[in-house]
Amino acid sequence: MRRWLLPALLLAALLGLWQIACSTGAIADALSLEDFLVPSPAEIASSLWENRDLLAENAWVTLREMVLGILAALVVGVGFAILMHSSRLLRDAAYPLVVASQTIPIVVISPILVVWFGYGITPKIVIVALICFFPITVNALDGLRSVDPEAVKMMRSLDASRWQRFRRAEAPAALPNLFTGIKISVVIAPIAAVFAEWAGSSSGLGHLIQSDTANFEVARQFATVAVLSALALALIGLTALAERRVVTWR
């Protein structure tokens, strides 16, 4: 109860302050702006309601980009982690490259991917997957390597094959780390999806924000941000739920 109530109260207080600051024109005056450029929470809420169909339509587009991107990163990242775990040679060769790949800014490569894959959903999935690949791979690999060397000896002595050691000892041990990686991915996936849409798209929440900037639709921009944030929160909640279902021994 306390876990939910306190942040909810704080949020209500902040929104209240914001509402008062807007109705007195304090923020717009301080920034020397027209009043309509600084929407109040009430105006944002009504924009949210009036544009519900448009927002839902675009939210569905962005949600698909995020979920498919995370799933692609999960499949490739876990596969890569297993390969690097099973071969010392491959790990020594590929791990520095995996880390180095993170120095490439996504803003720079997303236009290239649009050129390659067009304006459809594919470049968005690729960009989300590229961003989420790193936390998933690194955490999964750490998890696989977290197994006690003594436990490996014990398993060997209990007639475990390489596959059985993986299946019964290493893979379950890696699950908590893997979920950490997924949670980080879920948090950064909306940023990746918005960047991907900015690089070239005709729909999605990122696209909506971009076109609203041109038209000074500030209230709807805030409403769009709220929807994006709600999507991310829902995904985090789902991941936490899945973790509790799967990692039952903690």
Partner 1 sequence: MKLEIGGASHAYGDLQTLDSLDLAVEAQSVIGLVGPSGCGKSTLLELICGLQEQSAGTISVEGQTAADERLSRCAFMPQRDLLLPWYSAIDNAALALRNQGMGRREAREAAGTLFERFGLAGFEAVRPGELSGGMRQRVAFLRTLVAGKPVLALDEPFASLDAITRAEMQEWLATALRTDPRTVVLVTHDVEEALYLCDRVAVLSARPARIVAELSAPAPRAADRDAAVTDPAFVAAREEALRALREGSA
φ/ψ region of 38 (left if φ > 0, alpha if ψ in -120 to 50, else beta) reads beta
The conformation of residue 170, written as its DSSP 8-state character, comes to I
Residue whose CB is less far from partner 1, 3 or 250: 250
> Residue with structure tokens 């007195």?
24
> With binding defined as CB under 8 A, does residue 160 bind partner 1?
yes
Give the Cβ contact number of residue 103 at 10 Å. 6
> With binding defined as CB under 8 A, does residue 145 bind partner 1?
no
> With binding defined as CB under 8 A, does residue 146 bind partner 1?
no
Residue whose CB is less far from partner 1, 88 or 250: 250
Instruction: Return the H-helix or E-strand segment holding 148.
Output: none
Please say whether the beta carbons of 82 and 145 come within 8 A.
no
Count the residues of the shown chain that bind partner 1, applying the rule CB under 8 A: 19
SS (HEC) of 103-129: CCCHHHHHHHHHHHHCCCCHHHHHHHH
Residue whose CB is less far from partner 1, 41 or 176: 176
Residue whose CB is less far from partner 1, 124 or 165: 165
> With binding defined as CB under 8 A, does residue 245 bind partner 1?
no
Residue 201: φ, ψ to 5° = -165, 170
Residues 163-202 that bind partner 1 (CB under 8 A): 164, 168-169, 172
Residue whose CB is less far from partner 1, 11 or 151: 151
User: Per-residue x/- marks for partner 1, 7-46, CB under 8 A?
Assistant: ----------------------------------------
Please say whether the beta carbons of 148 and 117 come within 8 A.
no
User: In this chain, which of 86, 87, 101, 161 binds partner 1, going by CB under 8 A?
Assistant: 161
User: In this chain, which of 52, 153, 162, 244 binds partner 1, going by CB under 8 A?
Assistant: 153
The conformation of residue 35, written as its DSSP 8-state character, comes to G
CB of 164 to partner 1, least distance (A): 5
User: In this chain, which of 52, 156, 162, 244 binds partner 1, going by CB under 8 A?
Assistant: 156
Q: Which of 229, 226, 225 is nearest to 206 (CA)?
A: 225
Residues 37-96 that bind partner 1 (CB under 8 A): none
Q: Which of 53, 34, 47, 37 is nearest to 218 (CA)?
A: 37
Interacting residues with partner 1 (CB under 8 A): 148, 150-151, 153-161, 164, 168-169, 172, 248-250
